[in-house]
Amino acid sequence: MDVETVGKTGFFLAAFLIDQYVKATITGSTTLSFITFQRVTNTGASFGFFQGYNAALLIAGIIILATVYWYRDHLPDWAVWCIITGGVSNLVDRVVYGHVVDYISIGWWPVFNVADALLTVGVAVVVVDEFFGREETP
């Protein structure tokens, strides 16, 4: 394994473990400046859509992750790492808890977690790359 792969693996493994640790241990509420850390359960998807469809979202998540993995050679490397790490962390929640545990609140935005942030960044990078990325040469 090359140094870059080891670095990415370490970074994303750390992000996954931190996310899972906080989800497993957060019980109360703590406010630091403009961020509040509080445990919120979410049986839906992003922004609270599809509440109560945990099993369907679990299956959809597995299909999406498999698709991202399948097409990984055609997507920006960091985006793939973000999507896979965030997706796996939230899928672990769905299996272990029966819902996703969110814990970061910034007031005006729905409560989210590190996995959600990774997913958002990964998808944003894919979208930006699709519209503004380099043209492939034949």
Q: What is the CB neighbour count within 10 angstroms for residue 19?
A: 25
What's the predicted TM-score (pTM) here? 0.89
Residues 6+ apart with CB under 8 A from 87: 61, 64, 65, 68, 115, 119
pLDDT of residue 108: 87
- Token pair for 92: 């672990």
Per DSSP, the three-state class of 104 is strand
Query: Does the annotation count 77 as an active-site position?
Result: no
Pick the catalytic residue from 2, 73, 102, 129: 102
pLDDT tens per residue, range 52-104: 898 999 999 999 999 999 999 999 999 999 999 999 999 999 999 999 999 99
Query: Does the annotation count 73 as an active-site position?
Result: no
Pick the catalytic residue from 2, 73, 116, 129: 116
